[in-house]
Amino acid sequence: MSSVSSDVFLEDEKLQQGADANFVEMQVFDIIDQARRDNGNLTRKEEIRLAVDLCKEKLRLLSESDETDDRRLRQGYLDKLVQLGLEKQTIDDEDNENEEVIRVRDHSFVIQPIRGRNPTCEVCMTTIWKLMHAWRRCKYCGLRTHSSCTSSVGRMCASSIVTRHDFALTMTICEEKGLAAQNYRCHECARPLSFEGSSAVEPRLCDYSGFYFCSSCHWNDQMSIPARMLHNLDSEPRPVSRASKQLLTMIDNRPLIPLGSANPMLIKLNSSLKRINRIRSDFLFMKCYFVSCRTARQLRILQYLCRHQHFVESSDVYTMAEMRDIVSGKLLEEMEDIHQVFLKHITEECETCKGNAFVCELCPDKQIIFPFSDNVSMCCKCLAVFHHKCFELRSRFCPRCERRSKRAPPEEIDPNERL
């Protein structure tokens, strides 16, 4: 009997929800129909805006009520808001696909909305009054201009520079070349510069490129300099030109700083860097275990390094963001935590990974070891792992390679090994 009553109650609830949804639809239809009569050129986006305003107002009025009927009606308005939001997003996406794109010096300028603060045009250096002026923004580097100024843009788009096959960051600390080397002109726009006179002609040094710029091309933006981080672990922001700022912002999360090869002594002298370098080397070994482990693939354990995907591809390069985290100490803490998770999975939790461990064949100790264990050495030919002392005492002799050479046919044996 109670089961029948429950079914009847659920059926009545569904009917009431359907009635509430129809009521909301009728209200939205009425307000749009009235607006169409007043304005025959009403667009669908304007109709959606009217319907959204109606639903928000009704929700405001119903927010203080806690009656069952009002709760159902409130849910009907919320569902309608979600539906209208999805429809508006679809229309916006279609508009963006069809929007006019102006391409100048590899920039892709698209028209921008009037909401938000009024930016500065980076060509004529005047304020863009959005209510009065149409303005555009490059989709890639973010350069902002009046629509009428796009044809006068002289700066190449930073995205086209960083995507060149021969692009490389400047890894030498810039030397001040002096204004005479630039013929007393701005490096970008060739405007005359002088240390004497008004601020409009005052030269400003870019700490990334080493060139002087005018106040229109150099807004005293502050950025960390890759060369100073590479050589001195100095992440202090310094003034750079607009072009340099856009370039450095674009490559902030790209692994382009070859710390291991460009400055290996820094790793040896800095304990934090030395530990990070060891952890990254361990990650490369651990990746070999994870790609052959079904459990690790199901757990997606490598997703712990989603912000540092290049850590499982090489142990040499860093991003600018990572270099700043090295200076602040954040990167070492993060890597230690991830290293412990990986180590626990391989050495304790997963039988498959533990089954791929090694035992040193050069001593009686049968404790399992891994390529990332402390004080171990690896045969460069067969990749077998031994205790470091055992391997060195036996003059780096590998019994595994010896067994393989004995099993191999004579013609496959290296002539040098035969001798």
pLDDT tens string 354-383: 999 999 999 998 899 999 999 999 998 898
DSSP tag of 174 = P
Distance, CA of 318 to CA of 341 (rounded, Å): 22
What is the reported pLDDT for 18?
Answer: 55
Distance, CA of 219 to CA of 215 (rounded, Å): 6
Greater model confidence, 8 or 179: 179
User: Which pTM value belongs to this model?
Assistant: 0.69
Among 384, 372, 379, smallest CA distance to 347 is for 372
What is the reported pLDDT for 51?
Answer: 86
Q: Is 284 exposed, middle or buried (0-12, 13-18, 19+ CB in 10 A)?
A: middle
Q: How does pLDDT run across 223-237, given as a tens digit for each residue? A: 999 999 999 999 999
What is the reported pLDDT for 4?
Answer: 42
Q: Does the domain spanning 101-158 belong to CATH 3.40.50.1820?
A: no
What is the reported pLDDT for 2?
Answer: 43
What is the reported pLDDT for 149?
Answer: 93
What is the reported pLDDT for 17?
Answer: 54
Q: Which of 113-127, 233-247, 403-417 is the least confident region?
A: 403-417
Distance, CA of 193 to CA of 183 (rounded, Å): 9
Distance, CA of 233 to CA of 92 (rounded, Å): 45
- pLDDT band (50, 70, 90) for residue 61: confident
Element (H, E) at 351: helix 351-354
User: Are 205 and 182 spatial neighbours (Cβ–Cβ below 8 Å)?
Assistant: no
Hey, is 387 helix, strand or coil?
A: strand
In CATH terms, the fold of domain 168-250 is Herpes Virus-1 (3.30.40)
Give domain limits for the chain: 2-97, 101-158, 168-250, 259-354, 359-418
